[in-house]
């Protein structure tokens, strides 16, 4: 299997509609016949990234590469950036607003969950410019 590249726009602003990009990716990964656990981990990472982009950055774009041995998901936004990545990685730390919290988000688990379910994770962020979160999930 050669590497498959997929791009999903993530709409900003509407947390109620969030999850469309992740749902579409999940369907595609299922069609590709990948193992259920791999699909599940990739889907949770992507969904958390999508929620983060909607809450903090008015949307963005998710780029997914499916190689024979690995899924790479890059989530790019041009939002406010993360001033203190170490703090953002702590379970329970959140800067999400009241609306997000009322819907059940903002528990400070988004980035930690992405770390938990990926094999590799990198955060490239610059305050005022944006953030790219990359997760890699091994297939095997």
Partner 1 sequence: MTVQTLADTLSLTVFHLAQPDRPVSGGYAGDLLSWVLGRAGQDSAWLTIMSNQNVAAVALMTDAACVVLTEGVSPDSDLLRRAQEKGVNLLGTAEDTFAAAARLAALLQNS
107 or 123: whose CB is closer to partner 1? Answer: 107
| Shorter beta-carbon distance to partner 1: residue 95 or 113 | 113
Question: Which chain residues interact with partner 1 by CB under 8 A?
Answer: 15-19, 22-23, 26, 36-37, 40, 43-44, 47-48, 51, 103-110, 112-113, 116
CB of residue 60 vs partner 1: minimum separation in angstroms?
A: 17
Minimum distance between the CB of residue 10 and partner 1, rounded to whole angstroms? 13
Q: Which of 59, 67, 17 is nearest to 42 (CA)?
A: 67
The DSSP result for 51-120, as a single string, is: HHHHHHHSEEEEEEEE-SSEEEEEEEE-S---S-HHHHTSTT-----HHHHHTT--SS-HHHHHHHH-SE
**In the bound complex, what is the minimum distance in angstroms from residue 137's beta carbon to partner 1?**
14
């Amino acid at each position: 299997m050669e590497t498959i590249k997929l791009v999903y726009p993530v709409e900003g602003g509407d947390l109620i509609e969030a999850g469309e990009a992740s749902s579409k990716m999940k369907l595609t990964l299922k069609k590709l016949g990948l193992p259920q656990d791999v699909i599940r981990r990739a889907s949770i990472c992507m969904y958390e990234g999508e929620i983060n982009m909607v809450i903090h950055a008015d949307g963005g774009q998710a780029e997914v590469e499916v190689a024979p041995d690995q899924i790479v998901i890059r989530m790019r936004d041009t939002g406010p950036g993360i001033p203190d990545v170490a703090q953002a990685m702590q379970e329970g730390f959140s800067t999400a607003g009241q609306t997000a919290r009322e819907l059940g988000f903002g528990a400070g688990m988004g980035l930690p969950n992405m770390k938990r379910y990926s094999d590799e994770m990198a955060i490239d962020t610059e305050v005022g410019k944006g953030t790219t979160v990359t997760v890699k999930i091994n297939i095997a």
